[in-house]
Each structure stands twice: as structure tokens, then as C-alpha cells.
Structure 1
Amino acid sequence: MIGKSTYQAAQKVAKTVEQHFADYYAAARERGEQKLAPVPSAQVIETIIDTAFWASLRHEEGQSPKISLVFLPPEMAGLPLLFKQRLPFKPDVLAKLSPGVERPGIHLGVWYEDDELYIWGTTRDIKYFCFVVDVSEPGLLVVKHRRKKGMGKFANVVVLKGDQVKVVDEESASLPDCPEVLTSLLGFSSPSSWTSSVNVLVQLAVSMRAHGHGGSLLVVPADTDEWQESIIQPITYAVQPHFSGLSDLMQQSKEEQQQSLWQRENQRVIDNIAGLTAVDGATVISDKYELLAFGAKIGRRRGHTPVEQIIMTEPVVNEGAVIVHPSQSGGTRHLSAAQFVHDQRNTLALIASQDGRFTIFTWSPCEGMVHAHRIDALLL
């Protein structure tokens, strides 16, 4: 029955999520947007999250479910695969279906009739701002929505892990020194920007996190070699000439970038570069997206002091900024990245941990120190 749940986090967050989607829907209507996905009620949200949570704790053939649920009637889905008979929306049914729908881009469609939710089939094409619940691992759920025109990664709204609830703070995008890659992940970039250079970093971050080995990616200015003063020489895996595959792709026309062939090649190159971050040391690319080196060892720049403190934030409601020693942001990768940005203030460092944490290090002119933006809640 809709609204009957036992997972307390679902009850806690349902009203907040309902308001989020209602606000987005109203704003889209004012802009003249048409054919928007329906806004789920708090009761529907609570039930879908509750059922997804209990399904995530089950096993099917020894594997935990990985599924994506969308709240949408079948007539609003593009090219739906319809089941002859509706299936009950229950944890055991979701677990049974999960092996067949776990690949990226496949969504199980959920709708309701007479106060009962049911599963009608699957789809790859969903509406703008459609309510999505992604089951990532046991006890870990992400509420998200599809961006306008479907470009890029879905925008996360809430992350639930057991009894922990993280509501994404959209106001973070308006803070001073907020890097463009974070603004984009929060969903405030224009749709066209998902084929722009800033979102190369979003794609690289997602791919780095996906390989699960942890890694470091340094983004340095293309017009100077000053960054090498913070790298222990010689660099074992320097790339000469610089690999320009990604840079060349980004210089192609917007029309070419809309083609599926371009998008597949772009993803292939992104994954190749992100894969190199698994090698011990840092991968270095220019701000024009040329690959310069990988496996590079970071060292303190001659004449510069050790970094003693950084400001750390997470774009989550009720999580304020804290000033800490850089070792509190993570392990060795984080400490060396903080030192690198401290010494090379026109650079950017993206750090993935093996446990799934992801941090962007930038220099904050406002605070006069390194700023660590923890963004793993946005990458799930």
C-alpha cells in the first residue's frame, strides 16, 4: 500500500523530496516546458524508497541488486518494454528482476492504480525531471532526476545509506570559489555545457570513481611547465608527445558532438585516461585536456612551506565548512594533492579513494587556503 513503510529514513526524507520535485516542476512550467514527468507525492516517494531499500538487502544468485526505478506511466516512456501482466511492487520481485535490468540506462517503470504501486516494464527514455531511485549497493540509495534534454549525468537530490541521509545543498553552487565542475554536478549548468570542457572533468570523475582503485588527477595550465616544480623528477611515465585524443574531440563542432559516434569515442578516451589514475602516482592533464604524464610523484615545491590547514566542505544540507589539517581529508593522495594545489594555485586536483570518497582540491582566494570539496554524494 502507498505510504506504508518501515524504513525510517524514507519517512524522514519524503516531504523534502516531494518539495524538491514540486519546485522544479513549477519552475519548468513557468518557462513553458511541456511533457514533464509527474511529481510524486510524499507517500509515493516514501513507499518507493522503502521498497527499494529492503530490496537492496536481498540477494539473487549471490549478488546484491543494482536497479534503477522511475516513477512514470508507461505512455510517457519512450519505447517501453511492457510486461503482459503488471508485477507487484515488492522487494522480492525487484530482487528477482535485478539481474536482467542492472546495466546502465535501463529503468524499471513504476506506476500506481487504486492506491497500489506496480511495475509495468522497462524503458531507457524518461522525461525531464523524472523521479528516479537508484539502488547502488546494499543499503545505499540515490534519489535523482534526469537533466533537461537528457545530457550528462543525472542530478542527485538525496543520498541514503542505512540511517544516514544526505540532502544535496543546491545553494552550494552560489558560494564563492565554487569550481565549475561542482556547479555542473549540482545541476545548474546549461544543458549544452554537458558537451563543453567543464564536463570533461565530471566524466573523468565518474570514471575514476568507477574503477575502484583510487587515483589522483591533476589539471594544470597548458601554457607553462611550472607545475613540474611540484613533481619529483624524472617522471617515469611522461607522455611525449602529449596525447591529444581528448583535446581533439573537444575541438570538434557542436553538431559533431551531438552524434552517437562522437559520444562513444569520447567516453572511450575518458575511460582510458581515467584508467591511468589507478597507477600509483598522479595522472596529469592540461586545461586543454592533453595527457602529459601518469604515475607522477608529488613533492613539495622548493622554498614553499608545508600545507598546515585547509577548508573542507560537502554540498549537503546542514554540513558547514570546517578548517582542518589536510590529513583529515583522507589518506596520502589527499595530503599530496592539498600540497600540490597549495604550491600551484592555478591548478585543480581530483582525488578518488578506494572506498568511494571523491574530493576536488582548489585554491580559494577568498579564504587564502586550499579548499577541499567532497563530492562523492553527487557522483553516485
Structure 2
Amino acid sequence: MKGRSTYNAARTVAKAVENHFAQHRGDALQRGEKVLAPLPQASVIESVIDAAFWASLRREEGISPKISLAFLPPELAGQPLLFEKPLPLTSGVLTKLGPGVERAGIHLGVWFEKNELFIWGTTLEIQSYSFVLDVPEPGLLVIKHRRIDRYGKFANVAVLKGDQIKIIDEQSSSLPKCPKLLTSLLGFTDPASWNESVNVLVLLAVSMRAHGRGGTLLVVPKEGGSWRDSIVKPMQYAITPVFPGLANLMRQDENERNRSFWQRSLRREIDNIAGLTAIDGAVIISNQFELLAFGAKITRPAEALPVEQMVVTEPVVGNKAIVVNPAQHGGTRHLSAAQFVHDQREAMALVASQDGRFTIFAWSPCENKVHAHRIDTLLL
């Protein structure tokens, strides 16, 4: 594309992003996939990022734009909404269009002709491995792609915030005892579909983070009740009998799960449970997604030792695991979650902070410590 970006991070990250798409698109073609989005070149990636970044710092009627750009021609976009005349890809145009396309699922379509990028319209449908750039807030850009199964959350590739660049580390899922939830979020193993349980936890994590109040979700084994030793009694908001709404949906036949009614019902149940995490205390569900309690207070059993160390990692290139005292990683919510997993090693804790940080706490037998996986870069 003509010209050089004035946003340095765009130039820095462009080639790494091109390599990401080239690798995964090539692997998909080898597996026999035929309908894939076109491969974005580094120059295209750089130009799109540059325009979107400067647009994010502008305002239209006092409001910063929240936009999503998808790189593909209109003929690969299902039933697109086409502008009579394509618009130039500039920060000014993106700012003007922002108010009309900020709702989730709407993408501005970007393509090129004669070495010039332009916006051809909007679309609700994009191909697998489409280069997508989301602008959720001023100065924050998230590069992602549509998963091969075309369901669930998009896979994040990189996050740019001002001059800070975080490229998702594809090898993070190979960490010892890496939680399946983290593996699913990374999206670099065999593509998971909506009928796999780990993706329910992904959707719960996204919904928990979205309400912005912070919260804790404890996932405990369906069989056995040792987890109750780590909860203050009596539980004020215990559920009896357990509420099976989400569990029942996950038991339905796979043919039912492909229907839009089932998918809407799933999102409703997800939001219902995630909404309860905004209440003071933890939400508790079984690993079969039965709701057991909310507003629960975590405690340390009388015979248990306090958790003094845990391993902290973030799935971004260049990150190194560090061992810290849990009190150094966050507030009371994080400390209590680390203690719960330390005492209940078959359980997992998902913790959202009010500032947007999100952490999965799981026990690592290899390290013999609680492992705290920072995953907010995957949930944007």
C-alpha cells in the first residue's frame, strides 16, 4: 500500500501478523479446507492498523469510535451491505462511520484496488482466518481472526495499546498442565466447536469480563463435596436443587446445538451465570455446568496451610514465568481464589478484575504450585 504508517507499532507488528496468517492459512489448506479468507500482506496490515489507531483517538460528537475492520472482498462476505461508492480507508472516515457500526458482529469491509485500500460496506459474515482488527477503546487495537469452525469467540493474534505490543504466544498451550480453557482461547490446537465444554467456560469468561464489576467463578468436580470445606457455612445463596439450565443445554443432541434457538439459549444461560459473579462472593458451578451457589465466601480449612507462592504467566511472546506471593498479584479476590485452588486441586477458579484483568487459577502438579494464567489479552 502507498505511504508509510505514522504509528510505529503498526510497522513493528505487521510482519509477525502476516506470518501468523500465512502459517495457519497454509495449515488449513493442507487439511483440505477450501473456503478461506485471503492472506493479508504486511503492507496491508500496517496501513489498516495505522488508520484504525488514529481513528481511535478521534471523537464524533464527543464519543470515541468502536469499530471492527475485516479484510476481505465483498464476494466472500455472504450478503454484504454495499456502499454505492467505496470510501477511502482514513481515520476521518472511520470516525464518521463509527456510531453506526459499533454493535458486536458488524464489520467494516476493507479491500484494495490499484494499490489503494478502501471501505466497501459492512458485513455480518466473514470467512475463516479473516484478518480482523477491533478497536474497543481509544488507543487499544486487537488483531484477531475467525476460527476455522466459525463459531465461538474469535482467536486473538496481537494486542496493541499505544506503544505496547503483545503478540499471543502460540506455544503457551504446551505449558505443563495448561488448562483446557486456555488451550481453547489460544485456538492453536484442533479447532473446538460450541458443543465442547471448554468453550462454555470461554464464553463465561468473556461475559464475566464484560460486566466490568469483577467477580469469581469456581468450577468444582460434580462428584464429591470436598470443595465445601473451603466455603464459609452456611452459604447464603446455595441453590437446592442445583440449577441445571446450562447443563441441560449441553446435554442436548448435537443436531439441536447447530440451531440458532439453541445458540441464543446458550448465550442467555451464560449471561445469567456470569451476571451473578457481579454479586459479592463467588459463583460455584460443577464441571458439568450445574449452578450450585453464588455469593459464596471462600475460606481456608482449619488444617490447610496458607498459599505462599504461585507461578504467574501470560500467553504473550517474551513473557517469562515468575513465582510470586499471591498477595502481590492482585487483591483479596485473587488471593482467595489462589487459596481455594491450593486446597481444592481438582477445581479451577476464574477471576475477573474491575480493571479488565482476567486470571485462570489451576493447580500444576509439575510445579507443585498454583498456576495463575493471565488471559485478558485473549478475551478482548
Distance 1:309 1:282 in 2: 22
**AA of the residue aligned to 1:313:** T
Task: Report the counterpart of residue 329 of structure 2 in structure 1.
Answer: 329
Structure 1 residue 222: Cα displacement = 1.1
Task: Report the counterpart of residue 122 of structure 1 in structure 2.
Answer: 122
Matches within 5 A, 1:206-245: 206-245=206-245
Structure 1 residue 3: Cα displacement = 4.7
Distance 1:222 1:302 in 2: 24
Task: Report the counterpart of residue 106 of structure 1 in structure 2.
Answer: 106
The answer to whether the 8 A contact 1:2-1:117 is kept is no
Q: Note the alpha carbon deviations across 1:330-360, whole angstroms, 9 max, x for none.
A: 1111000000000111100000000000000
Task: Report the counterpart of residue 16 of structure 2 in structure 1.
Answer: 16
Distance 1:192 1:10 in 2: 30
Task: Report the counterpart of residue 265 of structure 2 in structure 1.
Answer: 265
Matches within 5 A, 1:17-56: 17-56=17-56
Q: Note the alpha carbon deviations across 1:114-159, whole angstroms, 9 max, x for none.
A: 2211100001111110100000110000000000131110000000
The answer to whether the 8 A contact 1:71-1:110 is kept is yes
Distance 1:372 1:113 in 2: 47
Distance 1:62 1:232 in 2: 47
Matches within 5 A, 1:220-369: 220-369=220-369
Task: Report the counterpart of residue 202 of structure 1 in structure 2.
Answer: 202
The answer to whether the 8 A contact 1:309-1:326 is kept is yes
Task: Report the counterpart of residue 137 of structure 1 in structure 2.
Answer: 137
Structure 1 residue 62: Cα displacement = 1.8
Task: Report the counterpart of residue 159 of structure 1 in structure 2.
Answer: 159
**Secondary structure of 1:263's partner?**
helix
Q: Note the alpha carbon deviations across 1:251-270, whole angstroms, 9 max, x for none.
A: 00110011000000010010
Distance 1:177 1:45 in 2: 35
Provide the identity percentage.
Answer: 66
**Secondary structure of 1:94's partner?**
helix
Give the gaps of 5 or more residues in structure 1: none
Count residues in correspondence: 380
**AA of the residue aligned to 1:310:** M
Distance 2:3 2:180 in 1: 39
**Secondary structure of 1:193's partner?**
coil
Structure 1 residue 274: Cα displacement = 0.2
**Secondary structure of 2:143's partner?**
strand
The answer to whether the 8 A contact 1:72-1:110 is kept is yes
Q: Quick check: 110-119 or 25-34, which moved more?
A: 25-34
The answer to whether the 8 A contact 2:109-2:121 is kept is yes
Distance 1:84 1:229 in 2: 65
**Secondary structure of 2:64's partner?**
coil
Structure 1 residue 302: Cα displacement = 1.4
Q: Quick check: 309-318 or 3-12, which moved more?
A: 3-12
The answer to whether the 8 A contact 1:216-1:283 is kept is yes
Structure 1 residue 189: Cα displacement = 4.6
**Secondary structure of 1:149's partner?**
coil
Structure 1 residue 192: Cα displacement = 4.8
Distance 1:185 1:103 in 2: 22
The answer to whether the 8 A contact 2:149-2:193 is kept is no
**Secondary structure of 1:272's partner?**
helix
**Secondary structure of 2:239's partner?**
strand
Give the gaps of 5 or more residues in structure 2: none
**AA of the residue aligned to 1:9:** A
Structure 1 residue 190: Cα displacement = 3.7
Distance 2:328 2:317 in 1: 21
Distance 1:36 1:309 in 2: 45
Question: TM-score with structure 2 length normalisation?
Answer: 0.98
Distance 1:207 1:139 in 2: 23
The answer to whether the 8 A contact 2:184-2:192 is kept is no
**AA of the residue aligned to 1:69:** L
Structure 1 residue 2: Cα displacement = 3.5
**AA of the residue aligned to 1:205:** A
Distance 2:35 2:279 in 1: 46
Structure 1 residue 297: Cα displacement = 0.7
The answer to whether the 8 A contact 1:140-1:162 is kept is yes
**Secondary structure of 2:26's partner?**
helix
Matched, 1:169 2:140: no
**AA of the residue aligned to 1:155:** A
Question: TM-score with structure 1 length normalisation?
Answer: 0.98
Distance 1:344 1:26 in 2: 42
Structure 1 residue 329: Cα displacement = 1.8
Distance 1:14 1:188 in 2: 20
CA gap of 1:2–1:154, structure 2 versus 1, over 3 A, is farther
Distance 1:113 1:189 in 2: 35
Q: Note the alpha carbon deviations across 1:71-93, whole angstroms, 9 max, x for none.
A: 11111111010000111111111
Q: Note the alpha carbon deviations across 1:27-74, whole angstroms, 9 max, x for none.
A: 122222212111111111001001100111111122111111011111
Q: Note the alpha carbon deviations across 1:288-325, whole angstroms, 9 max, x for none.
A: 11111111111111111110010000000010100001
